[in-house]
A and B are shown apart, each in its own frame.
Chain A
Amino acid sequence: DARVTQTPRHKVTEMGQEVTMRCQPILGHNTVFWYRQTMMQGLELLAYFRNRAPLDDSGMPKDRFSAEMPDATLATLKIQPSEPRDSAVYFCASGLVLGRDSYEQYFGPGTRLTVT
């Protein structure tokens, strides 16, 4: 039963510190998404990649957030410097897109970030 994995599962840090979250997509999936979930905003898309190339990061605060896919098995989301308003659960999801066909998208377990 292939699953998306994320590390760490929980992170508590002080304001101003750098935070790096990691995601391993399901093997064979070519599209990776980063979402942020808060009570107030629901599920927000931050960025997504296809075949490791960034396609859309318009939902991401550019001054402090960055997302990369150094290889097909690893996606990273970095916040530098972190702020208390960044406290949320960050989900990674992966899916498969082939030509005009898009398939199901599966979520990882999330990273619960608390910035004090």
Chain B
Amino acid sequence: GENVEQHPSTLSVQEGDSAVIKCTYSDSASNYFPWYKQELGKRPQLIIDIRSNVGEKKDQRIAVTLNKTAKHFSLHITETQPEDSAVYFCAARGDTGRRALTFGSGTRLQVQP
């Protein structure tokens, strides 16, 4: 089955700096890659996603890049703000058969004011 690895497990940046979180996946058939943000005590919320026919996608200060050949994808947050502090999860899903997401282990991002 699919295996998703996520790095780093914790990340601390200064407000205004950029943050990058990286994930690798094992199943070359996976073609949907969402990112979720989870604040303390809250539900995971979808913040951005990318499909395999796209190499990069941006939404304001966040962007996701996908390298299908290397089987890795990354989340980029620019101009970080204290409210970006949360746990971020990457995930991968195939297009046939098992359509459930396989999640990475999460990255705890702390933005220092």
Docked-complex contact A48 and B44, CB < 8 angstroms: no
Contact of A105 among B101, B102, B105, B106 (CB under 8 A): B101
Contact of B44 among A45, A55, A107 (CB under 8 A): A107
**Residues of chain B contacted by A106 (CB below 8 angstroms):** 46
The smallest C-beta distance from B28 to any residue of chain A, in angstroms, reads 17
Please report which residues of chain A, range 89-106, place their CB below 8 angstroms from some CB of chain B when the two chains form the complex. Answer: 91, 97, 100, 102, 104-106
Interface size classification for chain A: 20 to 34
The smallest C-beta distance from B42 to any residue of chain A, in angstroms, reads 8
**Residues of chain B contacted by A43 (CB below 8 angstroms):** 44, 89, 103, 106
Contact of B105 among A42, A50, A109 (CB under 8 A): A42
Chain B 69-89 interface mask (CB, 8 Å, partner A; 1/0): 000000000000000000001
Listed stretches B12-20, B54-62, B90-98; interface member: B90-98
Docked-complex contact B98 and A56, CB < 8 angstroms: yes
Docked-complex contact A100 and B96, CB < 8 angstroms: yes
Chain B 28-69 interface mask (CB, 8 Å, partner A; 1/0): 000010101000001111100100000000000000000000
The smallest C-beta distance from A75 to any residue of chain B, in angstroms, reads 14
Given A42-B103, A42-B105, A56-B100, A105 contacting B43 (CB threshold 8 A):
no
Subset of 24 A-B contacts with CB under 8 Å: A31-B99, A33-B100, A33-B101, A42-B103, A43-B89, A43-B103, A43-B106, A45-B100, A45-B101, A50-B99, A91-B43, A100-B96, A102-B32, A102-B93, A102-B95, A104-B46, A104-B49, A105-B34, A105-B46, A105-B101, A107-B36, A107-B44, A108-B43, A110-B43
Interface residues of A (CB under 8 A from B): 31, 33, 42-43, 45, 48, 50, 55-56, 91, 97, 100, 102, 104-110
